[in-house]
Structure 1
Amino acid sequence: MDPIKQSSSQLVFTVTRQKAELIAPAKPTPHETKFLSDIDDQDGLRFQIPVINFYRNDSDYSTGGNHDPVKVIKKAIAETLVFYYPFAGRLREGNGRKLMVDCTGEGVMFVEADADVTLEEFGDELQPPFPCLEELLYDVPGSAGVLNCPLLLIQVTRLKCGGFIFALRLNHTMSDAAGLVQFMTAVGEMARGASVPSTLPVWCRELLNSRNPPRVTCTHHEYDEVPDTKGTIIPLDDMVHKSFFFGPSEVSALRRFIPPHLRKSSTFELLTSVLWRCRTISLKPDPEEEVRVLCIVNARSKFNPPLPNGFYGNAFAFPVAVTTAAKLCKNPLGYALELVKKAKSDVTEEYMKSVADLMVMKGRPHFTVVRTYLVSDVTRAGFGEVDFGWGKAVYGGPAKGGVGAIPGVASFYIPFRNKNGENGIVVPVCLPAFAMDIFVRELNGMLKGEDPLGKYTNYAIIKPAL
């Protein structure tokens, strides 16, 4: 089966927005300064991350007979911010680029909207890229800065069918996917009548601070300073967004390329190896240049004792696999797979402390983006489980791929059920147009069982057109 799904991105509709407003906590909250951790405030997290959830009109919401999702969710946000009051504050920057939350209680930004479209018109397979995304998650002028701006922007758009879209933009320094889902779940619980979230938020950012004195004890190639000598950071013009579905048949087709001693590899490891390889072939780097893949690994369980339940800060690392373009493309898939497995296994409590120390010692650098692919698995994050009283989301998760402080580098692995009822993973990929054509051809070849080797024994030296 062809994994490339045509999206509904040709769909055009009109969104009517009300004036953006600030939602403050429903009760007075502490006015204080709370420092972010040394993992939170690294350069590579200083951007806004978009999330979108689609809901059907099948409300079982009966408290007060209020069936307007805008009113229900606005009230729930105000109530949730009493517990998550740092989100209602603003970021400030101190000495050494240290970020802190000024808990001002100003509130999060909220946009109420209506769209003249039904959920059905989006098609039977909701996945990125979404049509008119910039209308469903409006970039309110002056709101998108990292410092001195709202930390959350939420837009609720009612649809003609009675369904609605909940779209959110988060300042990534505040939370990772697990932390954001924890907050969204709390809003859902309050919307359904709870007076207290089932998981109370825990700040404790100091648990991920540097040691005194700081000492880098692990190897962190993810933060290498790599000069972009050949201009190979992906250009931002002429970018193409496509989503690829991997269900049971696609995954088993790709597993045929795994050597016997790696048969127990996870689907994440397999897909990461395949996509990294196909993407590298498509971008045509110089054969001897280093290429890398960064795997986001949740480190919550790596600590002893584990990080407290309710912790909603960033608790992940970017371990990296590094090789040359020629080695990645000429070798069998098992070569890439072993590199990915090794990178994932690098993350320990000591590794996280070492990253925090590196941040303080080196001025909070950005992870390497030159010839880099970043993958983040949100299949277990739980975006789609968030329920505001209208049931679980039809789609819940990242609004698009390629987001980040440097666009075009990242892909998400998102849980997805296709129109045939197959559960799988959808992966949005963002590439220049010329590269996307090659990427599709390579991936389809592997899915059809074609041996990807042979074609690359004379790996051509193609000077990057990037």
Structure 2
Amino acid sequence: MSVMVSKSSPVVVSPAEPRAPAGDVQLSSFDQRIPPFAVTLLLMFDHPIDKPIETIKRALSRALVHYRPVSGRLAGAEHRIACTDEGVPFVGASASCALDLEKVTPALLADLAVAYAGPFCRRADPLLQMQVTEFSCGGFVVGVTWNHVLADGTGMGQFLQAVGELARGMPRPSVVPVRWAAAVRDFPPPTATAERRSLMKPKEKEGRGAFLDITVPSSLIGRVKAQCACTVFEAVAAVLWRCRTRAAVEQPDAPTPLVFPNNVRELFGAQDGYYGNCTIMKSVQATRAQVADGDIRDVVRLIRRGKETLLEAEGSGGAEAGGDLYNRLAVSSWRRIGLDAADFGGGTPARVMWHEDRMVVPECIVCPPWKGKDGVNVQSLCVRLEHAAAFLAELAAI
């Protein structure tokens, strides 16, 4: 049975305490490296709170007093944020059934958030949009879609925790937010910004990817960690990279780069409370044969070497090696960045999910622990429909 989601008309939530114009916020060198693509996350809560839509809308308005750039707009060829207080579009919604964490389809995910017109945000678009959907059981979902130029995952986690604190009655956020370019040391801009943005534009020939909601078992992660003395992320990324390469790449000498973001706040002296972007994308180069046919320990070593050489010259994810963009895999971890720490009054989310309906690049999101589930949850658009069965079979067999 399909789930019916009824949405109210969007309202614009502005800061609860209007102030004199705050001027512009200059984007940091990290912000300027990020194409203005949309990111959607969904926080799923199985414990009810009183009037979640009104409670969260009111808390959002209060949070925007402290996070005024969030209610602004990009300006000046995307080199700054104008603190215009134009606000955040907010939608209240209701679903026709109880919240079932096991049965979340791509169609339902799309109904639980407010989408931008395309995968890239326009300058006049809001920097953030929010939807709160109430389910018949009392559970609710907070869908957040934002322009990545505004914040990385760590910054968005900080913002949502602040909204949660205000929803729970705190007078102000526990972390004082910081959002200006000088709050983090400069990082030289990439030499191929135009190329990077061009590569990330949707390619019609790529077609629609298969949305896969999978679990990498703890037993498999433990086995890889025992062999390689590695982290959970390194183990999961190695498994995904190897299985996906085997399923989707045919030529032994084809470049099959792995790309992953790294939080570098400590390396670049970011001030406490800084919520802009502060990540470096690392591209690890390898061929199909190295990844698909080598020992898993060698695959982990490639990933670890990439982390150790983080500040060395970056690649653009395979284009400089002459590779097909489809052969590249991006893996991002949402674990331990604060997205699962938001609490609007009934506890932290039972599940955190990612939503994207078009495979801009092959991508996997490693999500926070799912309540009551063993293993690591991964949501992905990393293979075309014709490669999905082979990819799942590789995961089952490894």
Could you state the TM-score of these two structures normalised by the residue count of structure 2? Answer: 0.87
Partner of 1:109: 89
Partner of 2:376: 425
Opposite residue 103 of structure 1, the aligned amino acid is C
Partner of 1:438: 390
Opposite residue 117 of structure 1, the aligned amino acid is C
8 Å CA contact 2:203, 2:360 repeated in 1: no
Say if 2:276 is the partner of 1:313.
Answer: yes
Map 1:17-28; keep pairs closer than 5 Å: 17-28=7-18
Partner of 2:122: 146
Q: CA deviation at 1:170?
A: 0.8
Per-residue Cα deviation, 1:170-197 (whole angstroms, up to 9, x for no partner): 1101101110010000001111111210
SS of 1:384 mapped into structure 2: helix
Partner of 1:7: none
Partner of 1:395: 351
Mapped to 2, the partners of 1:86 and 1:382 lie a distance apart of 20
Partner of 2:209: 239
SS of 1:80 mapped into structure 2: helix
Say if 2:375 is the partner of 1:412.
Answer: no
Say if 2:174 is the partner of 1:204.
Answer: no
Map 1:214-225; keep pairs closer than 5 Å: none
8 Å CA contact 2:112, 2:133 repeated in 1: yes
Opposite residue 416 of structure 1, the aligned amino acid is P
> Is there any run of 5+ residues in structure 1 with no aligned partner, and where?
1-10, 60-66, 360-367, 447-466
Aligned CA-pair RMSD: 3.2
Mapped to 1, the partners of 2:219 and 2:304 lie a distance apart of 23
SS of 1:166 mapped into structure 2: strand
Mapped to 2, the partners of 1:47 and 1:319 lie a distance apart of 18
Per-residue Cα deviation, 1:156-182 (whole angstroms, up to 9, x for no partner): 111112221110101101101110010
For 2:32, which of 17, 29, 41 is the aligned residue?
41
Per-residue Cα deviation, 1:293-312 (whole angstroms, up to 9, x for no partner): 01211111223xx3111000
Map 1:333-412; keep pairs closer than 5 Å: 333-348=296-311, 369=325, 371-396=327-352, 398-400=353-355, 407-412=360-365
Mapped to 2, the partners of 1:436 and 1:143 lie a distance apart of 23
8 Å CA contact 1:24, 1:88 repeated in 2: yes
Query: Cα gap change, 1:401/1:238 in structure 2, threshold over 3 Å: closer, same or farther?
Result: closer
Mapped to 1, the partners of 2:105 and 2:281 lie a distance apart of 25
Map 1:5-154; keep pairs closer than 5 Å: 12-29=2-19, 30-42=21-33, 44-59=34-49, 67-94=50-77, 98-119=78-99, 122-123=100-101, 125=102, 129-139=105-115, 145-154=121-130
Mapped to 2, the partners of 1:401 and 1:298 lie a distance apart of 22
Query: Cα gap change, 1:157/1:422 in structure 2, threshold over 3 Å: closer, same or farther?
Result: closer
Q: CA deviation at 1:207?
A: 4.7
Q: CA deviation at 1:427?
A: 0.7
Query: Cα gap change, 1:268/1:426 in structure 2, threshold over 3 Å: closer, same or farther?
Result: same
Q: CA deviation at 1:423?
A: 4.1
Mapped to 2, the partners of 1:311 and 1:392 lie a distance apart of 23
Opposite residue 8 of structure 2, the aligned amino acid is Q
Per-residue Cα deviation, 1:57-78 (whole angstroms, up to 9, x for no partner): 443xxxxxxx211111111111
Partner of 2:321: none
Report the number of matched residues.
387
Query: Cα gap change, 1:402/1:45 in structure 2, threshold over 3 Å: closer, same or farther?
Result: farther
Per-residue Cα deviation, 1:395-445 (whole angstroms, up to 9, x for no partner): 12x423687xx6242211112346xx4543101122112211111121211
Per-residue Cα deviation, 1:299-354 (whole angstroms, up to 9, x for no partner): 11223xx3111000111111121011122222222222111001012235xx6xx7
Higher Cα radius of gyration: 1
Q: CA deviation at 1:28?
A: 1.8
Map 1:257-336; keep pairs closer than 5 Å: 258=227, 263-303=228-268, 306-336=269-299
Mapped to 2, the partners of 1:249 and 1:375 lie a distance apart of 21
Opposite residue 51 of structure 1, the aligned amino acid is L
Query: Cα gap change, 1:45/1:143 in structure 2, threshold over 3 Å: closer, same or farther?
Result: closer
Per-residue Cα deviation, 1:113-144 (whole angstroms, up to 9, x for no partner): 1111111xx25x36x65542221113366997
8 Å CA contact 2:42, 2:144 repeated in 1: yes
Mapped to 1, the partners of 2:235 and 2:28 lie a distance apart of 32
> Is there any run of 5+ residues in structure 2 with no aligned partner, and where?
317-323
